[in-house]
């Protein structure tokens, strides 16, 4: 049996390029022409390999979640104290949204800026992802409260929502041109606003 024709492009590299375009323009704002041009493939190869724009986005998002800069934010949940969790999460977010290797912002935020019904599944996917992330932080802070690392009057759900709002706000600020230093100032103010979160070192 004759061997199949070798693929003429690297799938992971193509996904990284697609991921960057989605990060720049959002899901809805990205056209097929944008994708094929960035990925350096023709339309027939695009459809044969990825099937559709929606399927490609899922693949690009999987790569982003498993190998992208967001990993440092996820790792922050493993810090030993609530304050360190919050501090590391905010600083990891700042590093990610102004990373010079990527467009400013975050794929999970910018990708969800959609208006058409055709894009609703992607919008819902990213909304669910953000909700899950906030829930994971809330669960970690609940454990901190049980461990005595947060005082009894602390509300882990509200605190997680506050931190998530800061994360989303940093994404917007990065898109608006904020520097890493600008975001660091914001983080320092936020930490000062959390007096009941003990300093974890």
Which pLDDT tens digit goes with each residue over 161-176? 999 999 999 999 999 9
CB 156 within 8 A of CB 146: no
Which pLDDT tens digit goes with each residue over 20-74? 999 888 888 899 999 999 999 999 999 999 999 999 999 999 998 888 777 888 8
Using alpha carbons only, give the angle 141, 96, 107 rounded to the nearest 5 degrees: 90
pTM: 0.84
DSSP 88-123: HHHHHHHHHHT-TTS-SS-HHHHTT---SGGGHHHH
- Which of 72-76, 130-134, 154-158 has the weakest average pLDDT? 72-76
> What pLDDT, on the 0 to 100 scale, is given for residue 7?
54
Strand segments (E) across the chain: none
Please give the distance of CA 77 from its chain centroid, rounded to a whole number.
15
Tracing tokens 């099937």 back to the chain, one arrives at 51
């Amino acid at each position: 049996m004759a061997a199949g024709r070798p693929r003429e492009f690297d799938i992971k590299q193509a996904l990284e390029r697609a991921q960057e375009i989605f990060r720049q323009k959002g899901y809805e704002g990205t056209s097929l022409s944008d994708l094929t041009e960035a990925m350096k493939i023709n339309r027939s190869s695009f459809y044969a390999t990825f099937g559709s724009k929606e399927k490609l986005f899922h693949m690009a998002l999987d790569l982003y979640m498993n190998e992208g800069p967001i990993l440092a934010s996820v790792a922050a949940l493993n810090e030993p104290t609530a304050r360190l969790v919050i501090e590391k999460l905010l600083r990891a977010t700042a590093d990610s949204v102004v990373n010079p290797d990527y467009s400013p912002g975050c794929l999970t935020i910018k990708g969800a800026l959609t208006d058409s019904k055709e894009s609703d599944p992607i919008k819902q996917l990213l909304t669910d992802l953000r909700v899950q992330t906030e829930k994971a932080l809330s669960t970690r802070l609940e454990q901190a409260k049980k461990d005595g690392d947060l005082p009894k009057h602390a509300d882990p759900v509200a605190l997680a929502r506050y931190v998530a709002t800061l994360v989303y706000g940093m994404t917007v600020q990065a898109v608006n041109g904020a520097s890493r230093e600008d975001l660091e100032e914001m983080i320092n103010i936020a930490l000062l606003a959390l007096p009941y979160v003990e300093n974890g070192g």
